[in-house]
Amino acid sequence: MPAKKKNTHKPWRKAVQEALRHATDAEALARFGKRRPAYNYRWEHVTAVVTLAVKLAELTGADRDVVEAAAWLHDVRKEAKDKHPREGAKFARKFLPETDFPPDKIERVAQAIEDHMGLWRDKPLTRLESQVLWDADKLAKLGLTAVFHRVGDVLAKGKPMTTANLMKNGRDAAWQANTVASMHTEPAQRAAIARFQAYNKLWDALAGELNGDDLL
Ligand SMILES: [Fe+2]
Ligand SMILES: [Fe+2]
């Protein structure tokens, strides 16, 4: 009797997480000289993007599989800097066929990854899955999430740091207004406005406390 052909395709959800873990370990090794630094910004960022992207997919009717896989893989080639969306798309086209990810959806994953460039957009994206990934990626750079992610990343460098410098660094983010204005989907537009306000309010409140403005 001929041996039953085994399906060797890996479960895709596990595979994309492993791919990201591998990429974030390599990025940390290059930046900090160790795979597991005190704080891994990239891992924190991408896992936040995945959660937001899946939620946005549910709210907008975007394809969940496409959005989820694209979110896990969107920064997998971050070392390619400005070319990382295109390189990430290439990675997805090669990597996903080795998994059990639906083959007919792979190109849409690659397109969403390729489209995620830029902190703001002059021309809105047109594909829904690209819009959702873009919005989720940028939402994760706004609000209190951004505060914790930036502070964690700065402290992970292990260089002397003061609260005043953290504040200066945090407030130096004029691009955020453009990012908020570039959101595509309605739920992300609402969340972006609220996150932007919370972000500015937090730094204002901190400055007030440090100045003793609350001592009346
Ligand atoms: Fe990116
Ligand atoms: Fe990202």
What CATH number corresponds to the domain at position 43? 1.10.3210.10
Distance of CA 121 to CAs 36, 107, 136, Å? 34, 22, 14
Q: How far is the CA of 202 from the centre of ligand 1 (A)?
A: 26
> DSSP code of 75?
T
pTM to 2 decimal places: 0.94
- Look at residue 191 in the predicted model and tell me its pLDDT: 98
Q: Token pair 């306000």 is at which residue? A: 197
Å from CA of 117 to ligand 1 middle: 6
pLDDT of 174? 85
Ligand nearest to the CA of 46: 2
Q: How far is the CA of 214 from the centre of ligand 1 (A)?
A: 40
Structurally, the chain folds into a number of domains equal to 1
Q: Collect all residues with Cβ–Cβ distance below 8 Å to 56 and sequence separation of at least 6.
A: 62, 67, 132, 135, 136, 185, 187, 188
pLDDT of residue 172: 81
**Cα 45 to ligand 2 centroid, rounded to whole Å:** 7
pLDDT the model gives residue 7? 64
- What pLDDT is stored for residue 139 in this prediction? 98
Distance 43 CA to ligand 1 centre (A): 12
**What is the pLDDT, as a whole number, of residue 37?**
93
Q: Which structure tokens are listed for 147?
A: 């505060």
Task: Starting from the CA of residue 41, give the closest ligand.
Answer: 2
CA of 4 to the centre of ligand 1 (A): 42
The residue segments making up the domain with residue 52 are 12-211
Q: Is residue 4 part of a domain?
A: no
Q: Evaluate whether residue 32 is within a structural domain.
A: yes
Residue 76 lies in a domain: yes
Q: What is the pLDDT along the chain (216 residues), one digit of tens a residue?
A: 555 556 678 999 999 999 999 999 999 999 999 999 999 999 999 999 999 999 999 999 999 999 999 999 999 999 999 999 999 999 999 999 999 999 999 999 999 999 999 999 999 999 999 999 999 999 999 999 999 999 999 999 989 999 999 999 888 888 999 999 999 999 999 999 999 999 999 999 999 999 999 999
pLDDT score, position 173:
81
Of 59, 76, 165, give the one whose Cα is nearest residue 114.
76
Å from CA of 192 to ligand 1 middle: 18
Cβ < 5 A residues, ion ligand 2: 75, 137
Nearest ligand for residue 45 CA? 2
Contacts of 174 (CB under 8 A, 6+ apart): none
**Residue 43 included in any domain:** yes
